[in-house]
Amino acid sequence: MSNKRTPLYPVYEAYPGVKIADFHGWDLPIQFADGIIAEHQAVRTAAGLFDVSHMGEFLIQGAQAESFIDQLVTNNIVSMKPGTVRYTLMCYPDGGVVDDLIVYRISEIQFLLVVNAGNRKKDFTWITRENPLAQGETPLPEIRDQSDQWALLALQGPQAQEMLTQLVPEAADISFFQFRDDLAYGDAPLLISRTGYTGEDGFELYMNSEDAPELWSRLISLGVMPCGLGARDTLRLEAKLPLYGHELSDSVTPLEANLAVFADLEKPYFVGKEALVHQKETGIPRSLRGLEMIDSGVPREGYEVYHQGACIGHITSGTKSPTLQKFIALALIERGRGLKIGDEIEVLIRSKRKKARLVKTPFYKKTGRS
């Protein structure tokens, strides 16, 4: 079976020097001609544009929608106002993570859930059939997978507002983690949120699939650099933004991933709450920490981490930071060893233990608007 392709594939397939690869069954650009480092730096200093149309979008609506979603996810949904966005997670009853996602509250009874592309089918099955809320007699709200109807562009960087407002002036009025769904570019309706996955200011633009190529081309014509998944990964890692399958999985809880702020344990109920409360009370066994290499070596995913001769965890993501010009990584390591910022540890790289130190995260934090 051939891979899926986004509505923008015919556009960037024609770009000289583009490298396209398989990502969870999608043909997507890893980098364009200028390369990952140039794309990364463009987002940190100017503006870059990503095609993330592979993400999944579920519309949930009806009188029961608010209560259903609030019990399905870890964060508080009841307190959301229409026009706001909230990051959250879905958990299994044992506390492991089904997926991390973004919730858009469109109205009192209508929500849009944006999920990871690789988890789209699994998430929809979990939401509609497999989670404990779907096993009872209470009717579920209307739940529709609209992923194939949407295209999604991520415009990121300190010049993102300057670029976007040349086409959609009203975007300047959107605050961080808020959105408007009444905007348009020409005759093309848009939902625009001030969100992203890079650690920079920026916007995510949702539109009908057929409208995406023109908007992409228009933004590129303004001087925005096209960016691929390679730069998206280095940017999110510098900002310590988790990636499912790396920092999060069905065997890692939100508390272990240092995402407790997104798990409202004061809520009366959500799937997985009991397990998370128990873990918090009995002791969180491991924690996600940041490190940078002292010795030369690339700390890749899965490499073991050592302290005083004992294996204490493993690397979840690692790269050379284009911004810091250092090899950095996130590692899931045992708690209770008294390790603090600045302490030395070791990473097993090609059968050799290479020195590293624990550092404060995020590795990169922009100044100015948050």
State residue 369's pLDDT score.
Answer: 45
* Radius of gyration of the chain from its Cα atoms, rounded to whole angstroms: 21
pLDDT at residue 367, as a whole number: 73
Q: Domain limits of the chain?
A: 9-53+148-238, 285-359
* Sheet-wide strand order for 142-145: 84-91, 97-105, 110-115, 56-61, 142-145
Q: Does domain 285-359 have CATH number 2.40.30.110?
A: yes
pLDDT score at 333:
98
Amino acid sitting at position 126 = W
Sequence-ordered list of residues with C-beta below 8 angstroms from that of 187, at least 6 positions apart, any chain: none
Contact 200, 44 (CB under 8 A): yes
pLDDT of residue 1: 65
Model's pTM, two decimal places? Answer: 0.96
Give the start-end residues of each E strand in 186-324: 188-193, 202-208, 225-227, 286-293, 304-307, 310-321
pLDDT tens by residue, 113-136: 999 999 999 999 999 999 999 988
CATH 3.40.50.300 fits 9-53+148-238, yes or no: no
Nearest CA to 94 out of 332, 286, 280, 271 is that of: 271
User: H helices of 28-185, where?
Assistant: 36-45, 65-72, 120-125, 160-164
Percent composition of the chain: helix, strand, coil (DSSP 3-state, to 5)? 25, 35, 40
- Which residue, 297, 285, 293, is CA-closest to 333? 285
Backbone angles phi, psi at 151, to 5 degrees: -115, 150
What is the pairing mode between strands 188-193 and 142-145? unpaired
> What distance in Å separates the CA atoms of residue 170 and residue 66, rounded to the nearest whole number?
28
Distance from the Cα of residue 361 to its chain's centroid: 17
Q: Which helix (H) or strand (E) element contains residue 180?
A: strand 179-185
Q: What is the dihedral of CA 150, 241, 102, 368, to 10 degrees?
A: -90
Q: State how far the Cα of 206 lies from the Cα of 217, in Å rounded to an integer.
A: 15
Taken in order 248, 249, 251, 253, the sign of the CA dihedral is: positive
Instruction: For residue 218, give Cα distances in angstroms to 42, 160, 181, 350.
Output: 17, 14, 20, 46
Distances (CA, A) of 105 to 33, 61, 119: 38, 10, 21
Q: Which of 272, 266, 270 is nearest to 97 (CA)?
A: 272
Q: What DSSP line would sit under 20-59, residue for residue?
A: EEEETTEEEEEE-TT-HHHHHHHHHHS-EEEE-TTSEEEE
pLDDT along the chain (370 residues), means of 10: 91 94 95 98 98 98 98 98 98 98 98 97 98 90 97 98 98 98 97 98 97 98 98 98 98 98 98 98 98 97 97 98 98 95 98 98 78
362 prior amide bond cis, ω within 30: yes
Separation in Å, CA 42 to CA 38, 77, 135, 321? 6, 35, 48, 14
Q: Quick one: which of 168, 177, 176 has its CA closest to 219? A: 168
**Residue 290 neighbours by CB distance under 10 Å:** 19
Token couple for 97:
């993570």
